[in-house]
Homo-oligomer: A and B are copies of this chain.
Amino acid sequence: MNVRSKPDSPPTIYDVARRAGVSISSVSRVLNGRDNTRPATRERVMKAVAELGFVPDGAARALSSRLKHVVGVVFRRPCNTDDGGTDESENLLFGDQINRGIEIAAQRRGFDLLVRSVTIDERTPPDRIMTIAGKCDGLILHDQVLTRSGISAIARTTPVVSLAGRPGTDVANVRSECAANMRELARHLVEDHGYRRLAYIAGHADSPDNIVRSRSFTEQAQALGAEVLTGPAWQGDYSAAGGVEIIRGLISLGATLPRAIACANDQTALGVIYALTEYGLDVPGDVAVTGFDDLPFARHLRPQLTTVRQPIQEIGARAFEVLHAMISADPSSPAEPVGDIVLPTELVRRESCGCPAEPLTPRLWRPIG
C-alpha cells in the first residue's frame, strides 16, 4: 500500500477567500461568527471551506489574537525503568484523573490540554518547562514537579496554578483538605475498632499532602493512646509496588505487624493488601488497611477499601477555572485575590478497616432481559 505520507501544503485563508471571491477579512468573520455577514457571503465562504477542507492554523490565530486556547499541565512520572516500568505507571491513576477533570473543564471554554510529564530525576528543570510555557496561555503544575523558586520564575511571565502545593504570592494553589479526615480516620480505627498498634505508610517525603496526612494521623492516634510505628521501614512512594515491598520486607524480617495500616494513598493500600494476602493474612481480620483518594477500583477490591475520598476530577476542574480567570483577567484592572483553594474530602468506611460490607449500590443494578 502506498500512503500519501504528507498531505500537500494545506490551504490557507487566502485560498478560501480566492475561491469564495471575497476578502480574507470576510472569511475570518464568518469563521468566527463575527458581525452580520451577509448570508450570501457566508454561504460562499462555507462552501469554499468545505471544498478545500480548510482548517485555520492555530499558531497564526494565536499569534494575532494573543490567545492560544491551550493550557499546559506538567506532572511527575516515575523514572524510566528498563524492567517493567508498567508496574510503576500505576501511581499515575490519580494524576490521570486530575488531568481528565482539567480537560473537561477546559473543553467547555474552548481550551485544549497540552501535557508534559517529567521524571523525578529531572526536577527543577526550568528550561524544559519553559518550552512548554511558550506553547500555552497558562500552566497547571502537579505536586512536586518544580521547586518553589522554579515556579516563581515561570510565574513571572505566565499564569500558574499549582496542585496540592503550598500557596504562594505569585501562584494560585488548589488542594483538598487532608487533616480533618485523617484525624477522623485515626479516631475511627482507635476508638471504634479498638486498634492500639498502628502504622502509616508514607508517600513521597517531600509531598505537602503526605506530610499533612502523616502528621494528622499520627498525632490523633497517639493522642488517643495508641501506638504508631514510624521510621524508614514505613516509607512508601505512593505506588502499589512500594506497598508490596514494605510488607514483604517486614514479614521477611520477622517483624510483628501492627493491627492497622493507614496508607498514604489507595495505590499503596492495594499493594499492601495484596502482599498481606500473599502471606495468608486476613484483611481486615488480622490487619486492617486503609487508603486515601477513593480511586474507582477501591470499591471493587475484596475487601472493599476504606479510604478518604478526594474530589479528584473536581480538583482538576477548579484548577482550570482559576487559571482561566487569571488568563482572561484584564491586565489593567486591579489584581484579583486568588490564592489557596481547599476542597472538602470525605471518610468512606468500607470493609478493609473492619466495618461491615457496603450494601449493593442500587444504581449499578439493572436486570438483563
Contacts and interface: CB of A to CB of B under 8 A. Distances in A.
Interface of A: 1-11, 53-63, 68-70, 72, 77, 80, 83-87, 89-90, 92-93, 96-97, 99-100, 103-104, 107, 110, 112-117, 130-136, 153-159, 167, 169-172, 232-233, 240-241, 244-246, 248-250, 252-253, 270-271, 274, 277-278, 296-297, 300, 302, 312-313, 325-327, 329-331, 335-340, 360, 363-369
A365 B107 CA distance: 44
Contacts of A86: 296, 312-313
Contacts of A11: 157
A115 B117 contact: no
Contacts of A61: 134
B112 A337 contact: no
A28 to B, nearest CB: 14
A131 to B, nearest CB: 8
Given A89-B100, A246-B368, A249-B366, A3 B339 contact: yes
B90 A326 contact: no
Nearest to A160: B7
Given A6-B331, A240-B296, A274-B302, 9 more contacts: A3-B339, A53-B154, A53-B157, A63-B63, A80-B104, A89-B100, A113-B115, A232-B368, A271-B300
